[in-house]
Structure 1
Amino acid sequence: MSFMDAGTGQIVANAAESERAAFIKRTYVHLAGAIAAYAIVVSFFISTGIANAFMGVLAGSSWMWLLVMGAYMGISVLADNWARSGVSRERQYMGLGLYIVAFGFISTIPIARAVMMDGNIVLHAAGITAALVAGLTFTAFSTNINFSFMGRFLMIGGFVAMGIIVAGIIFGFSLGLWFMGAMIIFAAASVLYSTSNIIHEYHTDQHVAASLSLFSSVGLLFWYVIQFLMAFTSGD
């Protein structure tokens, strides 16, 4: 079943202009709220020392990263399923909230490391991410092209990237600037794909699921921009 099947409203592309505008507004309001909640969650994990404890656990064994990644992927699938649920709006918000907490927890690692290296890295990464997202959003809305065809390529690219990451963890080699740069391009494509789906593919009552999809893409972009800046700063 596709994600469109869970919605009861009209597909956005076929809805009246006022309904499309209202749906897009709700989606981006929820995205802004998700980003604000994410910032609070990350600040909490770092200020309470949870992030440092988490880094200590991961430092004990490279295999711990595999377990964490597996758990995160499982939670992400569950959160997405809840956010697309037609059972209740409460279930949808539970999915969005679950994903924010899970991504906030796992991303405390690069953020905490960036802060220890140079506090400006996080600010620069946020600025670069915001600029890229703004440009990609403008592209999606101004061209009005349906980029849903990118889905299969992103899926294949995601599997390839995951294989490289797992190999890096198992064999202990650094992924380097080239990989981080490639992942920034991949994440940017994901943002464009998610934005296009908001315009063309979702139903008008699926703003929670749409905001989660876009938040996850923006979060991935932010993650790899931070990684790239840290690798660049350290000269790796």
Structure 2
Amino acid sequence: MENQPNPVQPFVGQLEDQARVAFYKKTYAHLAGAVLLFILVETLFFQLDGILNLALSLTGGISWLLLLGGFMLVTNYAEKLALRSNDKKMHYAGLVLYVVAEAFIFIPLIFMAMYMAQDGGFEILNQAAILTLALFSGLTAVVFITKKDFSFLRSILTIGFFIALGLIIAGALFGFNLGLWFSVGMVVLASGSILYQTSNMIHKYNEEQYVAASLGLFASLMLLFWYILSILSRD
């Protein structure tokens, strides 16, 4: 998610220490809130047979591509609400919309993990969550300790995600499994995205854009969780 520079307001990295710390606290508090909302919405979805069956019916071929396309459209709209609107209510609307969309698209993967692992389904979810949190924390620490601007990763990530999208489309159309190494590669891409989004939080956002910053971090965090869970769910 790209930020639109505001020539009037300084970036977070240019603020006084107190204001900068306040921004970080707000951003990570909103990130934690988004994760909690995701868990609540996901739990609710699994209690609603209509939504559960709909999500599971969209997991193959053209249906999966349509679902991914719809998710990308929702993502783009949510980012615009969270970033470009001057209305704080719209910022929160964008974040909530994105969290709900993530919860819906996660239904098949979580269902598969719990089905394949049977009684160990929750254990796998816990393992994936712990690994994701540990890697996310480590990458975040790298950015804050080095204070490096990782904006140079933008072109690399863009190319990587386009290649990944092409492989996903090909896999859905021709019915082949992308395999373990694809998931490993996506973990690497997601890790790069976390570095990029955390760096953006410091170097590209102003102090009023903490909701948009939390949305970018949440998106990268959930992408990492998705592929770590995919790896752990394999036979």
Native 8 Å contact 2:78 2:94 kept in 1: yes
Corresponding position of 2:170: 167
Aligned to 1:106: 105
Supply the distance in 1 between the matched residues of 2:74 and 2:174 (Cα, whole angstroms).
26
Which residue in the other structure is 2:195 paired with?
Answer: 192
Is structure 2 residue 129 aligned with structure 1 residue 126? yes
Percent sequence identity is 40
Q: Partners in 2 of 1:77 and 1:187 — Cα distance?
A: 18
- Which whole-Å CA distance do the structure 2 matches of 1:29 and 1:190 have between them? 20
Structure 2-normalised TM-score?
0.93
Structure 2 residue matching 1:204: 3-state secondary structure = coil
Contact 2:197 2:217 in 1 (8 A): yes
Query: What amino acid sits opposite 1:83 in the alignment?
Result: A
Deviations 1:183-236 (A, max 9, x none): 0111011111111111221111100000000000000000010111112xx1xx
Shift of 1:17: 1.2
Partner amino acid, structure 1, of 2:23: F
Number of the residue aligned with 1:20? 20
| Range with bigger deviation, 23-32 or 48-57 | 48-57
Report the Cα offset of residue 47 of structure 1.
2.1
Conserved 8 A contact 1:154-1:190: yes
User: How much does 1:49 deviate?
Assistant: 2.5
Q: Deviations over 1:28-77 (max 9, x none)?
A: 00000000000001111112224540244225x51100110110000000
The size of the alignment, in residue pairs, is: 230
Q: Which moved more, 1:117-126 or 1:65-74?
A: 117-126
Task: Kindly state the Cα deviation for residue 4 of structure 1 after the two structures are TM-superposed.
Answer: 3.1
Matched, 1:157 2:160: yes
Question: 1:56 and 1:185 mapped to 2: Cα distance?
Answer: 27
1:228 aligns with 2:235: no
**Cα distance between partner residues in 2 of 1:62 and 1:51:** 19
- 1:37 corresponds to which residue? 37
The counterpart of 1:209, out of the listed 187, 212, 228, is 212
Shift of 1:6: 5.8
One-letter amino acid matched to 1:107: F
Distance in 1 (alpha carbons) for counterparts of 2:48 and 2:35: 20
Superposed counterparts of 1:136-147, under 5 Å: 136-147=139-150
Runs of 4+ that moved beyond 6 A: none
Counterpart position of 2:58: 58
CA distance in 1, matches of 2:188, 2:204: 23
User: Where do 5+ consecutive residues of structure 2 fail to align?
Assistant: none
RMSD across aligned C-alpha pairs, in angstroms? Answer: 1.5
